[in-house]
Amino acid sequence: MAVVHLGHEVALRELLRTDAAALADAYRTNRARLAPWEPLRQESFFTDSGQQSEVDALLEDRGAGIAAPFVLVHGGRIVGRVNLSGIVRGAFQSANLGYWIDAGYGGRGLMTAAVDAVAEIAVRDLRLHRLQAGTLLRNSASQAVLRRCGFAEIGVAERYLRIAGEWQDHLLFQRILAD
Ligand SMILES: CC(C)(COP(=O)(O)OP(=O)(O)OC[C@H]1O[C@@H](n2cnc3c(N)ncnc32)[C@H](O)[C@@H]1OP(=O)(O)O)[C@@H](O)C(=O)NCCC(=O)NCCS
Ligand 1 midpoint to CA 121 (Å): 22
The contacts of residue 27 (CB under 8 Å, 6+ apart) are 34, 41, 45, 46, 51
What does each of the 179 residues of the chain score in pLDDT, given as a tens digit? Answer: 689 999 999 999 999 999 999 999 999 999 999 999 999 999 999 999 999 999 999 999 999 999 999 999 999 999 999 999 999 999 999 999 999 999 999 999 999 999 999 999 999 999 999 999 999 999 999 999 999 999 999 999 999 999 999 999 999 999 999 85
DSSP, res 43: G
CA of residue 133 to ligand 1 center, whole Å: 14
Residue type at position 67: A
pLDDT, residue 85, reads 98
List of residues 6+ apart from 114 with CB closer than 8 A? 4, 6, 12, 70, 72, 80, 82, 99, 101
Catalogue all structural domains in the chain, each as residue range(s) with its CATH number: 3-176 (3.40.630.30)
Question: For residues 80 and 106, what is the distance between their CA atoms, to the nearest angstrom?
Answer: 10
Cα separation of 164 and 124, whole Å?
35
Q: Which atom of ligand 1 is the closest one to the Cα of 134?
A: 48
Please state the pTM of the whole predicted model: 0.95
Ligand 1, atom 9: nearest CA belongs to which residue?
A: 111
| Residue of 33, 83, 142 to mutate, ligand 1, most atoms within 8 A of C-beta | 142
Distance (Å, rounded) from C-alpha 12 to C-alpha 5?
A: 6
